[in-house]
Each structure stands twice: as C-alpha cells, then as structure tokens.
Amino acid sequence: MIILGIESSCDETAAAVVRHGKEVLSSVVASQVKIHGPFGGVVPELASRKHLEYIIPVIGSALERAGVSGEELDAIAVTQGPGLVGALLVGLSAAKAMAYALGKPLIAVNHLDGHIQAAFLSCSTPEGPFICLVVSGGHTALYRADRDGSSRLLGATRDDAAGEAFDKIAKLLGIGYPGGIAIDKLASGANPMAIRFPRSRMEKESFEFSFSGLKTAAANYVRAHGLPTYDAQAGSVTMRDFAASFQEAIVDVLVEKSLKAAEQFGLTDIAAVGGVAANSRLRERLARETASRGFRLYLPPVRYCTDNAVMIASAAYRIWMRSGPSHEMLELDAYSR
Ligand code: KG4
Ligand code: ZN
C-alpha cells in the first residue's frame, strides 16, 4: 500500500511517499527557517505564503524521487491539525484537489499522532503498548500509545512546550533560530551544572509539565548578570555553560517523567518523538537511563523527529488499517488546536 503524505502545519512544507507505513520511498522537506529566522519565531502569514509557493513543487519532487505516479498511489494523507490554520489549509487544499482529481481516498491525520507514529520509524519498533514522550515546539506531553495507532494522554504541559522554552531563551540570548538546535550545539561539551535552574516537577503523581518558571528564571538570570559572554572571564558563566545548564533543566524533567510513567504503567518500552527529541543531550540521557533500568528505548532518526511528511503517511497507514479512509473527504476542515 503506497501513501503520499503531506504536511504543512507550521514552517516546513513536506511531502513523502511511504510503502506499508514504514518503507520510505521519498521524503522532501522545504524548510522556511531562513525566512522566519530574523524574526526569532514563525510569522504565520509569511508561513502560509511560502507554503503556497512550495507545496506543488514539493509534492512533485516527492513523487518523482519515489518513481511513483499519482495513479499508482493508494491514498493521500494530510495533516488536518493542530497547527497554524492558514498553513494547514494550503496542504489540506492541495491534498483534497489531488484526491479528487485522481479519484483516490483522503486520510486526515492529527499532527501529534504523526509524531507518535514516528516511533515506528526507529530501527526496531515497539511490539506492544509503550510510553511516548511527545516534545515539540507546540507540545510537550506523555502518552500511553499502542501499535494500532491509538493513544491515551497521561499529562501535558500547563504552559510552554519544551521547544517553545528553547526558542524563547535562544531569542533572549540572540543565538539564532530554531532555538533548540542553537542551544544544543552551544551546550555540547559545556558544564550543565554551572547554573542550577529550577526544575518544575508538579505534584508527585502528575504527568503534567511546566516550563514557564524555568523560562522566567533564565530571563531573570540575564537581567541580574547581563548576557553571558562567549569567552571565559573570572567568576562568570559563559554562554556555553548557560546553554548547557538551561538544557539540562529541561532534559532532567523530561527523562524523569518518562521513566516514571513507564514504571507506573508497568511498560518496558519508551519512545521520544517531536522536534526536541532531536536534542543530543536528551537522546544521550534517555539512552543511558533506560538501559541502566532495563527499559527499551525507541528514538526515530533526527530527520523524522522534526516536522516531516513520512510520519504523516505512516500514521495514515495505521488509520487505514484500523478504520479506512475518511468519508467526508471534501468537507474536511483544518483545526488549530
Ligand atoms: O516537531 P517540530 O519540528 O515542530 C512542531 O511540531 O512544533 O519541533 C520544533 C521544535 C522547535 O521548538 C525547535 O527549537 C525544537 O523543536 N528543536 C530542538 C532541536 N531541534 C529542534 N530542541 C532541542 N534540541 C534540538 N536539537
Ligand atoms: Zn511537529
């Protein structure tokens, strides 16, 4: 079964052709990082305009690289939400038009389900239910997920998503966008203990997260001490140590809560997905701590952590297996939340 996936929920225009939910025939991602970079975050109106410009060439290129014609597709899958409505509508309209013109079924996919399904794009895949940490720019949540594509929310962030915290602090430091990647790079080899930033663990039994206190603490630090410098000066913390300490505060909580969820639900399999799951320190800590405590870890390759269309085609395959395509294909509307 060959599915064309289309993703345009935020600032990446992506299309991919995937066979049987796992075999990637092509994956094309047109990034808008350079366009939004100077603003330190995604500008929704600019994103929609760029999606309009990119969508047809990106889809064409995905089909061409896969060596598959529109007629050979079994279905077309598209992200319906959550995301920026103007951005989502571009992918959704393109998918509807193609499905209608080619007479193919359309499968609507929830963006977060897409991220969760990326767990099946790791080298080995979970065989039973697993704990899934979804960490991206818009979401931070823990799910109990199943192989058939169903999932149950255990707890989400009450305020900022982890990626959002990375992006906002990187903007404050003036070190580039997307902030997560910039902080990850700076933090490499630096001292994560240089500043003891607060870790918000919420109530003891809670799987909820909160990163606004950490963000405020980091901003207060800069207000009190000024921007950290790149060169070591007597008694001061460098930019690299600041980045490592900030990153460690986020990673500590993410790792701790994921392991606690697995213990509490008696599951041995843990996956981490979404843009922040590309973080090298998070990947390293999860690998070490799951191994030492006898859990199995599933991490998608970095290219399938950040937004892509392979995960959308993959999720659509499981939806199809479970319940077939959507019946109100042309009436489908985008949703922001
Ligand atoms: O999943 P994604 O591409 O888009 C959303 O659905 O939000 O995630 C984007 C987020 C951004 O906040 C970005 O800063 C973060 O993922 N991110 C990272 C890394 N790469 C991307 N955060 C930490 N470390 C990284 N290496
Ligand atoms: Zn995403």
**100 and 11 share a domain?**
yes
Task: Tell me the pTM.
Answer: 0.94
* Whether residues 21 and 98 fall in one domain: yes
Which one-letter DSSP state was computed for residue 143? E
> How confident is the model at residue 30, as a pLDDT?
97
Which pLDDT belongs to residue 108? Answer: 94
> pLDDT truncated to tens, each residue of the chain (337 aa)?
999 999 999 999 999 999 999 999 999 999 998 999 888 888 999 999 999 999 999 999 999 999 999 999 999 999 999 999 999 999 999 999 999 999 999 999 999 999 999 999 988 889 899 999 999 999 999 999 998 888 999 999 999 999 999 999 999 999 988 999 999 999 999 999 999 999 988 777 899 999 999 999 999 999 999 999 888 777 778 999 999 999 999 999 999 999 999 999 999 999 999 999 999 999 999 999 999 999 999 999 999 999 999 999 999 999 999 887 766 677 889 999 8
10 lines ligand 1 (CB under 6 A): yes
Of all ligands present, the nearest one to the C-alpha of 136 is: 1
Nearest to 282 by CA among 259, 261, 263: 259
* Dist CA 260 CA 205 (whole Å): 9
Q: Give the residue numbers spanning the domain of 227.
A: 126-299
Q: What are phi and psi of 265, to 5 degrees?
A: -95, 5
Ordered strands of the 130-135 beta sheet: 151-156, 140-145, 130-135, 269-273, 296-298
Residue having the nearest C-alpha atom to atom 20 of ligand 1: 181
> For residue 332, how far is the Cα from the chain centroid?
24
Q: Is residue 121 part of a domain?
A: no
In this structure, is residue 265 part of a structural domain? yes
145 and 71 housed in the same domain = no
Q: Which ligand places an atom closest to the C-alpha of 164? A: 1
How many Cβ atoms sit within 10 Å of the Cβ of residue 318? Answer: 21
Question: Count of domains in the chain?
Answer: 2
CATH number of the domain within which 211 lies: 3.30.420.40
Query: Tokens 């395959």 correspond to what residue?
Result: 317
Q: How far apart are CA 179 and CA 192, in angstroms?
A: 17
Measured at the CA of 81, the angle between CA 76 and CA 84, to 5 degrees, comes to: 115
Q: Give the model's pLDDT for residue 327.
A: 67
From CA 187, how far away is CA 170, in angstroms rounded?
A: 12
CA 57 to chain CA centroid, nearest Å = 24
Gap from CA of 112 to ligand 2 centroid (Å): 7
Pocket test for ligand 1, best of 33, 36, 79, 136 (most atoms within 8 A of CB): 136
pLDDT given at position 72: 98
pLDDT of residue 278: 98
Cα distances (angstroms) measured from residue 228 to each of 41, 174, 195, 225: 22, 11, 12, 8
